A and B are shown apart, each in its own frame.
Chain A
Amino acid sequence: MTDREQVSPTRVQILDEEGMNRTVARMAAEIVERDGGEIILVGIHTRGVPLAERLATAIAAMSGQRVAVGRLDITLYRDDVGPWRPAHSQPVIKDTSLPDSIDGEVIYLVDDVLFTGRTVRAALDTLMDYGRPRGVRLAVLVDRGHRELPVAADVVGKSIPTGLDEDVQVRLREVDGEDGVWIGKGSSDAH
């Protein structure tokens, strides 16, 4: 895009591996305190999926109880799929896996970064096509602000005030081979 992109962007690490483990453990404790163990953790593709698994492991270590985990692909519910996208490439469709029924359950949607709120809107619509949960909550590792829709998280790992020209990069071992959160300028690695 600009000349800036050609120089390597400045990156500042916000969380390292240990910090991420502590953050996930604290999020798990908040979830248990709030709703006990009778919940379903549903990770939003891509990085919400391993995060939901990690939260389930942390909850099991805490309460001895293994909670159900699912995963959700929101691609077909996005508001930018179609010719108004500046993209000829449609996003890749990934798998959705939920328990047979989510009617009457309490669901925690899990994602890595909360930004505009559009992913969460799409995730809510997706979920409602699978049933009628009793409650839906939102747990995110990072809330970076700049909401475009009236969406708020119930459980936040870390709030990071950012500029619109900045990027928050969450990297997870399961997807990226390393753990950490960085904030940088000028990177085009969009979600």
Chain B
Amino acid sequence: MPTDSVQSLAAKDLVGIAPLSAGEIQLILDTAEGLLEIARRPIKKVPTLRGRTVVNLFMEPSTRTRFSFEVAEKRLSADTLNFSAGTSSVTKGETLIDTARNLMAMAPDFIVMRHPNSGAPHRLAKMVPAAIINAGDGINEHPTQALLDAFTMRRHFQRLEGLKVVVAGDISHSRVARSNAFLLTKMGAQVRFVAPASLMPLGVEELGVQTFNRLEPALEGADVVMMLRIQRERQGNMNFPSVREYYDFFGLTPRRLALAAPHAVVMHPGPINRGVEIDSAVADGPRSVILEQVTNGVAIRMAILYLLAGGHGEPTSHS
């Protein structure tokens, strides 16, 4: 897809994929490409963000996203402060606004934020001068996940345009699915959402995706198969009879994967539920790029920190 190339991100924050242009997405992916190499060096650290402070504000449990951000921050030499729900005063009844005011008194340059409420990072972005990076807000968006997914796809296929991407699982509770739909449709990929009717939100077609209530027809000719975790913690009443039955109808088995294109890759944002949405033989199989996603996630998060660290104006002379 011909996209106008851009040199910088327009906003001070990354609150979602929805506000980004195709050119901005391309800039982030291209920047991450140059940062991947740092993980292979003897000294896995560059001084770029020396003296900058990043607050990691995680109001919801997270292991891999929080670790991934922390590795990215440390590889760029930023100082990091970690606030997690459960250990911070959020559990003592402090509001988001008061937490933000207190954090700002410590003058951070970035706030990486995960929050159970959709829109919380957007709110914070308007209140504080620091750059807010959304690490997942409620059921709204998880932009860095979609960027690392797209980065992984682009590294395998050298393009995003025209790729057939299946996203299967708990669509209704998935910010990963939403961010991926925004990103992939902007970049000209074809997105197919698969979920039982009870887990497929109404009006989801407005995102520009095709919807399926069965996995098999969606898998036909797919280049990428992305399985989502069944989020039992977000479901008051289970939306399907049993985990076993979910696996029987929607689990990605080697036999079902054979319906996809021969070169198809299997992705999963993690953590995986073996024997629920994905069979171990697939998760550990040759088509799985699940661990590549983790490596790529660090480079994507470094790219976002690097790009948001820019000031305003034209580059200075440097000879």
* A interface with B by C-beta (< 8 Å): 73, 75-78, 80-96, 113-116, 118-119, 125, 129-131, 190-191
Contacts and interface: CB of A to CB of B under 8 A. Distances in A.
B233 interface: no
B312 interface: yes
Greatest chain B CB density within 10 A among A89, A114, A125 is at A89
A87 B317 contact: no
Interface stretch (B31-39, B162-170, B195-203): B31-39
B318 A76 contact: no
Contact of B315 (A82, A89, A129): A89
Given A76-B48, A95-B34, A116-B318, A90 B41 contact: no
A115 to B, nearest CB: 3
Interface residues of B, number: 33
B34 A94 contact: yes
B35 A93 contact: yes
- Which label, helix, strand, loop or mixed, suits the secondary structure of the B interface? loop
B315 A119 contact: no
Given A90-B306, A90-B307, A96-B37, A85 B313 contact: yes
B156 interface: no
- Which label, helix, strand, loop or mixed, suits the secondary structure of the A interface? loop
A89 B8 contact: yes
Interface string B39-55: 00111011111001000
Contacts of B310: 81-83, 85, 87-90
Given A87-B316, A89-B310, 4 more contacts: A80-B315, A93-B33, A93-B34, A130-B42
B284 interface: no
Contacts of A75: 34
Nearest to B6: A89
B314 interface: yes
B158 interface: no
B2 interface: no
B37 A95 contact: yes
Contact of B318 (A83, A88, A119): A119
B292 interface: no
Nearest to A167: B317
Contacts of A190: 315-319
A130 B45 CA distance: 10
